[in-house]
Structure 1
Amino acid sequence: MAQDAAGRLLAAGRAEEALQVVEIALSRETRDSAWCDPPELDDAHFACLEALGREEGLRRSLWARFERCLCRGALRRLLKRLPDFDDVETEDRAREVVLLFSPIEAGLAFCFARPDLTLAAQLVLSRTEEIDGDAYEILTPAAEALSSAQPLAAVLIWRSMIEFALERARSSRYGHAARHLASCADADAAIGNYQGRPEHDAFIQGLRKAHQRKAAFWARVREASDGV
């Protein structure tokens, strides 16, 4: 493996040769796969640049890794290497990257790992239509985390999962969807402005109109509302 060879060269004091090995491998990996995420190669690359004292190159490479896959470690390492005020500017740039990153679920995962609930809410509110309601492993804890401080964002996440379950007729998820709808009802009082989106009662009316024949779901809704 290129990273192993680079490690041996670095240990032998041959950093320039190690860098060449890694850069060739990185070029090949990038060419072969648009989905490539070579963390071990990137780490070897960073080590080579650091050994050679190429600070600007290292900073650019750390930023490139963050920008490509929202790598928290790369961003954290970059911020530590920046002087005062430059790190603040870079954090602002990083937030802009997160707000535009696709898929949106990756951006949400980044926000909750940091954590940055304000950024997560901004992401949800600006790109609601992109949320994949099937990504419940990320969305369920995200909505719960946002429910107190950012109730509208939480409701929009719950709605995305409800709509996915109903539109795809995923009956195995009707119980979850009913509980999400109950959570939306609980959050309604804390939302003074739905920012152009349907309010809770209007959302329910829309669901009933579009999915009135899904009796199993509405039975679950009644159970959830009764506290069963």
Structure 2
Amino acid sequence: MRQTIASARGDLDLLIALEAKKQPHMQDYLGIAAQLLEAGRSAEALDWVRKPGRRALGETGSDLSPARVSLEARILEATDERPAAQALRWCCFEATLSADILREHLKQLPDFEDIETEDRAHALALEKAKPEAALQFFLDWPRLDLAAKLIVMHPHRWNGGDWHSLPKAAALLEHDYPLAATILYRALLDDILDRARSKAYRHGAEYLGKLALLAEATDTTRPNEQAGHAAYLAKLKTAHPRKSGFWARVGEGDPAPPQASRSRRPNWDRGDG
């Protein structure tokens, strides 16, 4: 409450004094640093952004978290340390593949040098040890062609349980990059069936429908080690013959169990089982 009053009065020194009395893990280092920067007190801002244990409220990232690096780089530029700011941004990009940090870095480069650096960033992302981070970067940039290339480079890497992002990525790619979309849709469908996620069978049936539509475009260009759609479908039927709730949604199997067994079997369409 005292800090709220200090902020309303524009008393930054009182606000900082009150913040400094808190336990280190409770201090809003980035918030104070940002206010000091806005007030033109760059040297003090740099001290706060670099304090041991620094973090913004709610932030759980490392020292190279994009939010902190973005702020520290702006503070460094305000203190005429532009090379150090750029070096920090690039180091952060290498560690996190943050599209926002790369944009900030490129904005400070001369013409033509930014193009060369962008190409270097793309090459680095393709070689990243964690393709998941690289995929998010290419989607955020956006470079869908490189996202598709990355997916095809690592066909078995994608976690079908990542239903927050993979369906969106597959939908973005399915028109121009059907092979990459096929890899993602298969990963999603395999995860649903392998884990018997009956409440997601509706989505699984949708993914299988998309795979059937994509098959004509992908079966002629797919790598030899990747099964064609007919072989993939046959494998699903062999591996999951008793998942009647799923097959009923795609028009396969017996969609209506006998009346006598209904009390012992789940209602698939209701999402049981």
Which TM class, normalised by the smaller chain length? Answer: 0.7 to 0.9
Aligned counterpart for 1:93 among listed residues 104, 115, 120:
120
* In structure 1, C-alpha distance between the alignment counterparts of 2:165 and 2:87, rounded to whole Å: 30
Shift of 1:28: 5.5
Amino acid at match of 2:175: S
Residue 165 of structure 2 aligns with which residue? Answer: 138
5+ residue gaps, structure 2: 1-27, 253-273
Amino acid at match of 1:199: G
> 1:15 aligned to 2:15?
no
Amino acid at match of 1:60: A
How do 1:37-48 and structure 2 match up within 5 A? 38-48=65-75
Aligned length: 219
Point out the structure with the larger helix share. Answer: 1
Shift of 1:55: 1.6
* In structure 1, C-alpha distance between the alignment counterparts of 2:40 and 2:237, rounded to whole Å: 70
Contact 2:70/2:89 (<8 A) preserved: no
* In structure 2, C-alpha distance between the alignment counterparts of 1:45 and 1:143, rounded to whole Å: 36
> 1:108 aligned to 2:135?
yes
Deviation by residue 1:72-91 (Cα, 9 ceiling, x = unmatched): 22111111111233212221
Q: Which has the higher contact order (CA 8 A, sep 6+)?
A: 1
Q: 1:67 to 1:17 in 2, by over 3 A?
A: same
Shift of 1:186: 0.6
Amino acid at match of 1:217: F
* In structure 2, C-alpha distance between the alignment counterparts of 1:73 and 1:128, rounded to whole Å: 27
How do 1:25-104 and structure 2 match up within 5 A? 25=52, 35-36=61-62, 38-101=65-128, 103-104=130-131
Shift of 1:23: 2.2
* In structure 2, C-alpha distance between the alignment counterparts of 1:34 and 1:104, rounded to whole Å: 22
| Percent of paired sites with the same residue | 36
Residue 233 of structure 2 aligns with which residue? Answer: 204
How do 1:176-191 and structure 2 match up within 5 A? 176-191=203-218
5+ residue gaps, structure 1: 224-228
Residue 122 of structure 1 aligns with which residue? Answer: 149
> 1:195 aligned to 2:223?
yes
**Could you say what secondary structure the match of 2:159 adopts?**
coil
Shift of 1:57: 0.8
Per the normalisation by structure 1, the TM-score is 0.84
